[in-house]
Amino acid sequence: MTAGQLRTTEGNRRRYDSVLDTIGNTPTIRINNLGPKGVDLYVKFEAFNPAGSVKDRLAVNIIEAAERSGALKPGQTVVEATSGNTGIGLAMVCAQKGYPLVVTMADSFSVERRRLMRMLGAKVVLTPRAEKGLGMYRKAVELAEAHGWLLARQFETEANAEIHAATTAREIINDFAGAPLDYLVTGYGTGGTLTGIARVLRSERPDTKIVLSEPANAQLLGSGIPTERGPAGEPMSSHPAFEPHPIQGWTPDFIPAVLQEAVDKGYYDELRPVPGPVGVEWARKLASKEGIFTGISGGASFAVGIEVAEKAEPGSSILCMLPDTGERYLTTPLFEGIAEEMSEEEITISQSTPGYQMS
């Protein structure tokens, strides 16, 4: 589109049967103001999903897979452990389909996530932060067994990577049809995004290098130490390399079974650590320089994408996954130092004309 040209819209000639039909088909967006010259840098912005994150894809497939198999009965309660995004997605899906939802979540995650889930009708049971991700996981298992609820099992279920192979990967293939895609950069939470996309890219775009990232102070994969698992792939203990980190949604204190497939099958070409503060820095730059408002996890992926871009061959094309919106990080380090009151410069602007000034 040329400067000065009026933007118009005509609708997509579709009326959706429910909010769930709007999941997916998120945009791939060129980065214009950040990054080195001579490299094409893109982001896939998952905040365009209706509940604001990539986990909407997983949430709808978990529920519909359970419906198809008969594991989920009408009116049955669903329970799941989550750092927030999967719970928010499940709350949206369960609200639309009429299932009660109970979420277990460590009390270290941002308060706005709890409120969003409760707004969508879910019950949120908090667990002590000292028990980490494994504690909230075990609480969900306990509740499911005690009450006969359906445990969503996002960390183990085949429904996780399956939906990313069927939707996220296909969107990327179509978005880059006839064009180069030299690198894909992503982090991991459950590992579903990586595993599902890589299944397709390894087959259809084998020249695309996949770069995986994890927090610098919680390098579970980088440590080379495996997670001890039970018979269903569930974690049995907290990983010794884990430390609390600010990249909410990334890297629980165990290596999920869904991610283990990517490890075992060599689905990524490079593993790069990224410090949490660097994720904050680049999330802020994306907002202020590109108008793209993502969370700390998106900033961390993009930071690694910048590292890749700086060393890539001229003309290279790089795609970074941005998992969610920055709006669910209001009480996190992402917003530290972002003032509520006017700055001196803003006061000066206000005083430059005589009217409507704050006293």
Closest alpha carbon to 262 in 214, 207, 213, 198: 198
55: annotated active-site residue:
yes
Q: Report the alpha-carbon distance of residue 254 to residue 251 in Å, rounded.
A: 7
Q: What's the token pair of residue 167?
A: 């939707």
pLDDT at 12: 83
Query: What confidence category does residue 146 fall into, taking pLDDT thresholds of 50, 70 and 90?
Result: very high
Averaged over 233-238, what is the pLDDT?
92
Model-wide pTM > 0.85: yes
Instruction: Flag whether pLDDT at 195 surpasses 90.
Output: yes
Contact 122, 225 (CB under 8 A): no
Catalytic choice (83, 213, 297, 301): 297
pLDDT computed for residue 1 by the predictor: 67
Cα→Cα distances 79→48, 95, 248, Å: 25, 14, 20
pLDDT digits (tens, 9 = 90+) for 266-316: 999 999 999 999 999 999 999 999 999 999 999 999 999 999 999 999 999
130-145: average pLDDT: 94
Class of CATH domain 55-151 = alpha beta
> Taking 90 as the threshold, does the pLDDT of residue 2 lie above it?
no
Cα(28)–Cα(176) distance, integer angstroms: 9
Catalytic residue among 55, 132, 139, 209: 55
Same fold for the pair 19-48+168-335 and 55-151: yes
For residue 175, pLDDT over 90 is answered with yes
- Which CATH number is correct for 19-48+168-335, 3.40.50.1100, 3.10.28.10, 3.30.870.10, 3.40.50.620? 3.40.50.1100
SS3 340: coil
Number of neighbours of residue 41 by Cβ within 10 angstroms: 24
Alpha-helical runs (H) found in 148-268: 158-163, 169-175, 192-204, 220-223, 257-264
What's the pLDDT tens digit per position in 239-265? 999 999 999 989 999 999 999 999 999
Indicate if 110 belongs to the active site. no
Q: Which residues contact 176 (CB under 8 A, 6 or more apart)?
A: 28, 205, 317, 319
Per-domain residue ranges for the chain?
19-48+168-335, 55-151
In this prediction, residue 13 carries a pLDDT of: 83
